[in-house]
Amino acid sequence: MHTAQASQWFATCPKGMEALLANELAALGASATRETVAGVYFDGPLALAYRACLWSRLANRILWPQASLAAEDADELYRSLSSVEWGDLFDPKYSFAIDFSGENQNIRNTQFGAQRSKDAVVDWFSASCGMRPQVQRRSPDVRLNIRLVKSLAHLSIDISGGSLHQRGYRTEGGAAPLKENLAAAILLRADWPGWAARGGALIDPMCGSGTLLIEGAMMVADIAPGLRRQRFGFEGLRQHNPAQWQALVSDAQSRAKRALESELPEIRGYDADPRVVRKAQENVARLGLEKVVRVSCKPLAELTKPSHKALPVGLLVCNPPYGERLGEKENLLSLYRELGEAMVREFPEWHAAVFTSSLELGRAVGLRSHKRYALFNGAIASNLLLFDLHNNTLRDLDPATKATAKNSTATAAKTATTSSATASNKGLSDGAKMFANRIVKNRKRLKSWVNREQIDCYRLYDADMPEYAVAVDIYADLVHVAEYQAPRGVDPDAAERRLDEVRAALPDALGVSAEAIVYKQRARQRGLQQYEKQSSSGELCSVREGQARLLVNLLDYLDTGLFLDHRPLRLRIAKEAKGKAFLNLYSYTGSATVHAALAGARSTTSIDMSNTYLAWLRKNLAHNGLDETRNTVHKADCLPWLQQENKQYDLVLLDPPSFSNSKSMEDSFDVQRDHLELVRAAMSVLRKEGQLYFSNNRRGFKLAQELLDEFACEDITAATLDPDFQRNRKIHCCWSLRHREG
């Protein structure tokens, strides 16, 4: 048996961090550092090993190598381990566990190897001391590490006693949390300590449970990462020197106290999910860093640089969702694009660091990165991209993410629109003048409501004058005009002439350019015809509704992706969704799902049969900085799905089409004929105290008497119509349903 010297140690770490760890250990006083895959060997006294356990921000474990033992087979492994003087290492009153890794031709199972190793240790103590130490897999006093390589078993003692990435402040991780030592590596590669020394700030726009922010704060506040850990593996060893250890702890406590009394950099974090924001705030509070780290709920679309004081330089850092963890890559491209836009718009003189497993998503940021580092997030090969934002210009964006650029001109466009209180009417026919005057009158009538409620999208005109049978909808700085098909008996030439008069009147009446107005014919549709493409521009525009930013397509489909008449119902859902499990049936583009998620729903589940609209839904989620961890999306026919669903929901939206004969369905669907079975199925997944909203746009719809008898039903149609739809009260009907008490 070859026994190693007590001054030799081995620090393990995730792959890609070896050089950083070697530098860190050298700064702590280590000598003879030698990098290997996923770790660093180093020399030094016991006090150095203590400092590494207390101060290393990068290591997973600190191992004390003991011996390299012959282990051709299980019997030889047992004999070799039985020759170790275990009583020199720890007392049998302490519990122990064995971490066994590796295999050879005769030992092919790590569990078997661990069992034979355990037997050797226990039998040695029984024979030598007449006392058996307890084997305890979780939180043992002493943790032994045995790594089998060919015919040798390398024995070490884990003096850290568990992974050092566990700082001791976290009681519950957020969704797919970044390990603390990986977060530290990201910040060190991005030179956060250097930026802090130069007076820079730190911002994470998608902070999750706050790992990057907290690691950054612990660095600048000189807080030892192991200071809050409850125990270490060396405490159960005979070689432990409590006085020496306590001296190091006391020094670390004094350093942290001095640093917290000094002026520290600005550190802020944001996230669209209020639940993880609360977790981040709780984590910050456990470390007493509330005055250093401030976290608030804000979607990426609203990211701005803090303006309470000058912040000329700093580091923007984030770990956005990527396909392997939270959703499909293609659905996250717009999120990364929006991140790139926010970076250059709000932080043009800063630096940025983006950590992702997907270079495709990294390129979607649209900016030049000047450095790239390879790191591993668990088993996932990942990349850290560093950006100098000074004079870094965005590459061409895909259509789905032109939204922010368009919105930057929205204010000016709205100002121009609002200032046009009267139409010039010059050169217009009498009919066109009459139409223009009605447009101006309607805008004046709705103006105070639009301004008070901060409405971005609304219906301005809906065939108020039968001869001008169009719907005019405002979408931020754009206008969408849908022509209703002329009834039989109406001269087609006359209908075309009136549409020409609409085209002539609208630009002046609204104060917009003709290019800002989109025109479509809107004939009565059946089944999936309403979803058929009219164009292939793929151009999505971003509009605001309440807290949500929603993507609409004004060119490609008869419908834009946002039913304006359901605005009050969506906002009602947002008010009621906090902490609830929300189910969106016939979810379309998911606008109600986005509202519920932003409002703090515990979970959302969205069901639809259209791949097109489910992809659109995912883009809406990403556009608001939301991922698919708690926002589940299913392609399914709602009725069969409900009949097989076992989960219960607190809040349900059921908004089926009036009619559908989709090829994905076994039979056609007619809402009047089939709603009884559908509503009953939806109520079967609604919790006892839950709320279901049932809406449809079938003219003359009658709710089945059986539903009125079985459930507490209330017609809330009037309450779900805003001022822009008061003239057309039959555009939809809406019911509130609850289970009857008892």
| Rounded (5°) CA angle 339-555-696 | 95
Tell me: pLDDT of 491 over 80.
no
Tell me: pLDDT of 525 over 60.
no
Closest CA to 103 of 71, 145, 136, 58: 71
Considering all CA atoms of the chain, what is the largest pairwise distance in Å, rounded to the nearest integer? Answer: 111
Considering the chain, tell me which residue range(s) the CATH 3.30.2130.30 domain(s) occupy. Answer: 2-158
pLDDT (average), residues 388-410: 60
**What is the distance, to the nearest Å, from the Cα of residue 81 to the centroid of all Cα atoms in its chain?**
48
150-166 pLDDT, tens per residue? 999 999 999 999 899 99
Tell me: pLDDT of 449 over 80.
yes
- E strands, 532-597, are 541-545, 548-552, 581-585
Tell me: pLDDT of 174 over 60.
no
Helix (H, G, I), strand (E, B) or coil at 239: coil
DSSP symbols for 12-42: E--TT-HHHHHHHHHHTT-EEEEEETTEEEE
175 falls in which pLDDT band (50, 70, 90)? very low
Residue whose structure tokens are 């070896």: 18
Pairwise CA distance, residues 464 & 469, whole Å: 8
Backbone angles phi, psi at 478, to 5 degrees: -115, 160
Considering the chain, tell me which residue range(s) the CATH 3.40.50.150 domain(s) occupy. Answer: 180-219+264-397, 563-739
pLDDT at 161: 92
Pairwise CA distance, residues 461 & 479, whole Å: 11
Are residues 657 and 331 in contact, defined by beta-carbon separation less than 8 angstroms? Answer: no
**What is the distance, to the nearest Å, from the Cα of residue 190 to the centroid of all Cα atoms in its chain?**
22
Considering the chain, tell me which residue range(s) the CATH 3.30.750.80 domain(s) occupy. Answer: 410-529
183 falls in which pLDDT band (50, 70, 90)? very high
Least confident of 169-183, 381-395, 405-419, 496-510: 405-419
Cβ atoms within 10 Å, residue 409: 11
Backbone angles phi, psi at 360, to 5 degrees: -60, -45
| CATH, domain 410-529, list 1.10.150.250, 3.30.750.80, 1.20.1440.230, 3.40.50.300 | 3.30.750.80
242 falls in which pLDDT band (50, 70, 90)? very high
pLDDT at 665: 59
pLDDT at 666: 64
| Rounded (5°) CA angle 121-62-6 | 70
**Domain formed by 563-739, architecture:** 3-Layer(aba) Sandwich (3.40)
pLDDT at 38: 93
Tell me: pLDDT of 410 over 50.
no
Pairwise CA distance, residues 637 & 585, whole Å: 9
Residue whose structure tokens are 């295999």: 103
606 falls in which pLDDT band (50, 70, 90)? very high
Between 503 and 422, the more confident residue is 503
Least confident of 390-399, 413-422, 487-496, 498-507: 413-422
631-650 pLDDT, tens per residue? 999 999 999 999 999 999 99
Tell me: pLDDT of 511 over 80.
yes
pLDDT at 530: 43
pLDDT (average), residues 5-25: 91
Helix (H, G, I), strand (E, B) or coil at 542: strand
22-34 pLDDT, tens per residue? 999 999 999 999 9
Tell me: pLDDT of 485 over 80.
no
Residue whose structure tokens are 């961090």: 17
Tokens representing 53 are 């356990």
Counting residues of the chain whose pLDDT is more than 90, the rounded percentage is: 73
**Side-chain half-sphere of 574: how many Cα atoms within 13 Å?**
17
Pairwise CA distance, residues 668 & 730, whole Å: 24
Tokens representing 133 are 């130490």
Tokens representing 467 are 């001869």
pLDDT at 426: 61
Between 139 and 248, the more confident residue is 248
Least confident of 21-25, 493-497, 645-649, 661-665: 661-665
Tell me: pLDDT of 405 over 60.
no
Tell me: pLDDT of 323 over 50.
yes
88-99 pLDDT, tens per residue? 999 999 999 999
Tell me: pLDDT of 419 over 90.
no
Pairwise CA distance, residues 361 & 339, whole Å: 11
Tell me: pLDDT of 3 over 50.
no
Are residues 582 and 593 in contact, defined by beta-carbon separation less than 8 angstroms? Answer: yes
Where does residue 633 fall: left (phi above 0), alpha (psi -120 to 50 degrees), or beta otherwise? beta
Tokens representing 666 are 């076994």
667-716 pLDDT, tens per residue? 788 999 999 999 999 999 999 999 999 999 999 999 999 999 999 999 99
CATH topology of domain 180-219+264-397: Rossmann fold (3.40.50)
pLDDT at 421: 38
Pairwise CA distance, residues 16 & 36, whole Å: 10
| CATH, domain 2-158, list 3.30.70.920, 3.30.2130.30, 3.40.50.12780, 1.20.120.420 | 3.30.2130.30
Long-range contacts of 538-542 (CB under 8 A, 24+ apart): 538/399, 538/400, 539/399, 539/402, 540/399, 540/400, 540/402, 540/403, 540/619, 541/402, 541/403, 541/406, 541/475, 541/476, 541/478, 542/301, 542/403, 542/404, 542/406, 542/407, 542/476, 542/623
pLDDT (average), residues 320-337: 68
Give the H or E element holding residue 268: strand 267-271
Are residues 13 and 181 in contact, defined by beta-carbon separation less than 8 angstroms? Answer: yes
Residue whose structure tokens are 């060997």: 41
Pairwise CA distance, residues 375 & 357, whole Å: 9
pLDDT at 673: 93
pLDDT (average), residues 51-55: 98
pLDDT at 529: 42
Tell me: pLDDT of 233 over 60.
yes
Mean pLDDT of the chain: 88
pLDDT at 5: 46
pLDDT at 6: 54
* Helices and strands counted in the chain (H then E): 22, 30
pLDDT (average), residues 600-604: 96
Pairwise CA distance, residues 114 & 667, whole Å: 59
Are residues 143 and 233 in contact, defined by beta-carbon separation less than 8 angstroms? Answer: yes
Cβ atoms within 10 Å, residue 210: 31
172 falls in which pLDDT band (50, 70, 90)? low
Model pTM? 0.65
